[in-house]
Amino acid sequence: MERLNTFFGRHVWAQVLLVVLLGWAVIMLMSPGEPALVVLLRAAVTSVGAVAVLLVLRAGEKRAAGGSGDRLVALDRRLRHGELPSSSAERKAMLDLAEQRLRRTRHRRPALVVLWLMYALFVAAPLLLGEVRQALVCGLLGAVVLPLLTWQGGRQVRRLREVRDTLRKGADGADADGEAPAAREPLEQRDHRRSSSDG
C-alpha cells in the first residue's frame, strides 16, 4: 500500500488516469449497452473539473513543501505515519503543509452533510424514473464509498491536528542552532499505546 501511495504521489498522470477509469467503470455499470469507447470519452470529459482541482491542489502543496514533488511525497508519507523530521526546515515545511490541508477541511462537516444528501437524491432520482439498475449501482457504490470517505477523512484531520500542534510546540523549543529537538515518538505508536492503555 505504501508503494502505491508513493507511486500516485509521484505521478499525477496516474491519478488522472485512475479518475477517468473509475468514472468509465461506473458509467459502464449503469449503462451496459453503450459503446465502451463512447463511455470512456464521456468519462474523460466529465473528469476535467476533478483533474483541474487535483492539479491546483497539488501545485499549492508543492509550494508549501518547498517546490519539489519528491519532497512533497516524502512529507506526505511522514504525515500519514505521524513521523516528525528532525531538521527545522523540514519541520517548517511539514507544518505549512499540515496547516494548508487543515484550512481546506475547515468546512468538512457541512460538506459531508451536503454530499450525503446529494448522493441520496442521486440514488432516488433514477429509482423514481424506473431505472432500477442505475439506482442499485449508485446505492451500492455510495454504501461503500461514503462511509469510507467519512471515516478516512476524520482520521486524517485528527492526524493533521496532532502533527500541527506537535510541530508548533517543537518550534517554540528549538535550540540556538535553529535545529528542532529530536522527533518525538511517532504519532501512530502513541495512538496505539494510548488505545492499549484505555483497554
Question: How many domains in the chain?
Answer: 1
95: pLDDT strictly greater than 80:
yes
Angle, CA of 130, 136 and 137, to the nearest 5°: 120
Name which of 3, 10, 157, 131 is nearest 79 in CA terms.
157
Each residue's pLDDT tens digit, 121-153: 888 888 888 888 888 888 888 888 889 989 988
Torsion from C-alpha of 114, 116, 118, 124, nearest 10 degrees: -150
Domain presence at residue 120 = yes
Q: What is the distance between the alpha carbons of residues 65 and 147, in angstroms, rounded to a whole number?
A: 30
Provide mean pLDDT across the span 97-121: 88
Instruction: Give tens-digit pLDDT for 57-94.
Output: 888 888 887 777 778 888 888 888 778 888 888 888 88
For the segment 179-188, the average pLDDT, to the nearest whole number, is: 47
Question: Would residue 186 count as lying in a domain?
Answer: no
Chain mean pLDDT for the chain: 78
For residue 39, the model assigns a pLDDT of 82
Q: Are 51 and 16 in contact (CB under 8 A)?
A: yes
- Does 181 fall in a domain? no
Residue 191 lies in a domain: no
**Percentage helix, strand, coil, to 5, in the chain?**
80, 0, 20
In a domain, residue 187? The reply is no
pLDDT of residue 60: 84
77: domain range?
2-174
For residue 147, the model assigns a pLDDT of: 92
pLDDT at 185 over 60: no
Query: What's the one-letter identity of residue 183?
Result: A
Q: For 9-63, what is each residue's pLDDT tens digit?
A: 777 778 788 878 887 887 787 777 778 888 888 888 877 887 888 888 888 888 8
Q: Is residue 195 part of a domain?
A: no
- Whether 193 is in a domain gets the answer no
| Res. 173 pLDDT band, cuts 50 70 90 | low
Residue 180 lies in a domain: no
